[in-house]
Chain A
Amino acid sequence: MTRALLALGLVFLWAPVALMAAFAFSDARQPFVWGGFSWRWFAALAGNPRMLEAAMLSLGIAAGAATLAVLAGGALGWVLARHGAFRGRTLFGALAAAPLVLPEVVTGLSLLLLFVALERATGWPDGRGVLTILLAHASLGAAYVAIIVQARLSGLGRLLEDAAADLGATPAAVFRTVTLPLLLPSLAAGWGLAFMLSLDDVVLASFTGGPGATTLPVLLFSQMRVGPTPEANALALILLLISALVGAVALLLRR
Chain B
Amino acid sequence: MSLRIEALHKSFGATPALRDLSLELPARSFVAILGGSGSGKSTLLRIIAGFETADAGRIMLDGQDIAPLPPRLRPCAMMFQSYALFPHLSVHENIAYGLRRAGTYQAARVRELLELVGLAGLDSRRPAQLSGGQQQRVALARALARKPPLLLLDEPLAALDAGLRAATGAELRRLQRETGTTFLMVTHDQQEALGLADLVAILHGGRVAQLGPPQQVYARPATRFVAEFLGAANIIGNHALRPENIRLGITGTVPAHVLRAGFRGETWLLECRTADGTALRVALPAGAPPPPEGSAVMLSWDVAAMVPLGA
Q: Are B97 and A164 in contact (CB under 8 A)?
A: yes
Q: Are B72 and A166 in contact (CB under 8 A)?
A: yes
B180 within 8 Å of A by Cβ?
no
B82 within 8 Å of A by Cβ?
yes
CB within 8 Å for A168 and B101 given contacts A162-B51, A163-B78, A163-B80: yes
Given the complex, which residues of B lie within 8 Å of A169, measured CB to CB?
72, 97, 101
Q: Are A160 and B72 in contact (CB under 8 A)?
A: no
A110 to chain B, nearest CB (A): 40
Interface string of A164-200 (1 = CB under 8 A from B): 1111111001000110011000000000000000000
Given the complex, which residues of B lie within 8 Å of A164, measured CB to CB?
86, 97
B292 within 8 Å of A by Cβ?
no
CB within 8 Å for A159 and B146 given contacts A166-B72, A168-B72, A168-B98: no
Given the complex, which residues of A lie within 8 Å of B50, measured CB to CB?
165-166
Q: Are B101 and A178 in contact (CB under 8 A)?
A: no
B285 within 8 Å of A by Cβ?
no
CB within 8 Å for A182 and B101 given contacts A159-B80, A166-B49, A168-B146: no
Q: Is the interface of A mostly helix, strand, loop or mixed?
A: helix
A178, B87: Cα distance in complex, Å? 9
A33 to chain B, nearest CB (A): 55
Q: Are B72 and A159 in contact (CB under 8 A)?
A: no
- Among B78, B86, B142, contact of A178 (Cβ-Cβ < 8 Å): B86
Q: Are A166 and B101 in contact (CB under 8 A)?
A: no
Interface string of B78-105 (1 = CB under 8 A from A): 1010101011100000000110011000
- Among B70, B87, B88, B101, contact of A167 (Cβ-Cβ < 8 Å): B101
Q: Are B86 and A166 in contact (CB under 8 A)?
A: no
B77 within 8 Å of A by Cβ?
yes
A162, B84: Cα distance in complex, Å? 9
B145 to chain A, nearest CB (A): 8
A173, B71: Cα distance in complex, Å? 14
- Among A160, A165, A173, contact of B86 (Cβ-Cβ < 8 Å): A160
Task: Give A178's nearest chain B residue, CB to CB.
Answer: B86
Given the complex, which residues of B lie within 8 Å of A178, measured CB to CB?
86
Given the complex, which residues of B lie within 8 Å of A168, measured CB to CB?
72, 98, 101-102, 146
B4 to chain A, nearest CB (A): 21
Q: Are B80 and A182 in contact (CB under 8 A)?
A: no
Q: Are B82 and A159 in contact (CB under 8 A)?
A: yes
A182, B84: Cα distance in complex, Å? 13
B286 to chain A, nearest CB (A): 43
Q: Are A165 and B71 in contact (CB under 8 A)?
A: yes
Pick the most buried of A166, A167, A170, A181: most chain B CB atoms within 10 A of its CB: A167
Given the complex, which residues of B lie within 8 Å of A181, measured CB to CB?
88
- Among A159, A160, A162, A177, contact of B71 (Cβ-Cβ < 8 Å): A162
A171 to chain B, nearest CB (A): 9
A170 to chain B, nearest CB (A): 6
Given the complex, which residues of A lie within 8 Å of B77, measured CB to CB?
166-167
B residues with a Cβ closer than 8 A to A are 49-51, 70-72, 74, 77-78, 80, 82, 84, 86-88, 97-98, 101-102, 142, 145-146
Q: List 19 A-B contacts (CB under 8 A).
A: A159-B80, A159-B82, A159-B84, A160-B84, A160-B86, A162-B84, A163-B78, A163-B84, A164-B86, A166-B50, A166-B51, A166-B74, A167-B97, A167-B142, A168-B98, A168-B101, A173-B101, A181-B88, A182-B87
A residues with a Cβ closer than 8 A to B are 159-160, 162-170, 173, 177-178, 181-182
The 3 tightest CB contacts between A and B, nearest first, are A167-B98, A163-B84, A168-B101
